[in-house]
Structure 1
């Protein structure tokens, strides 16, 4: 997914490593010491993407929003976004 976004051009973002655990595992996924059990399937290849300067892709004319209390020039509470 990130590679697809990068094909559209450069963008600023934070990338945070994430571990995905199998959500259909029956029982406790951690042992009594708090360690993940070895038989729980996991995938370490995920990253969380947090875009920076996301207001550049925000359509101020078509979106329904209230301005941010911290910076009224930026969107705050979104009701409908385009």
Structure 2
């Protein structure tokens, strides 16, 4: 299983509609609106890298209002307990 994060820049008046449309794509697990240079982040789970082309190029980029995407592939997932420990560093 491959996990990717797709950062999406949208036309301002299309952010909500795009978020809803992207969330309907079968490989997309979650979509978040975010601050910063991008407007949306989609969490994508795939069987293989070839499927990434289908999701991004034929799926997300084909939607009206998408100006740009950037895709980040995840190498490793860390268990929640490790993340919780990391946030607790320097406290206490």
TM-score, scaled to structure 1: 0.30
Structure with more of its chain in helix, by fraction: 2
State which structure, 1 or 2, has the greater radius of gyration over its C-alpha atoms.
Answer: 1
Q: TM-score, normalised by structure 2?
A: 0.28
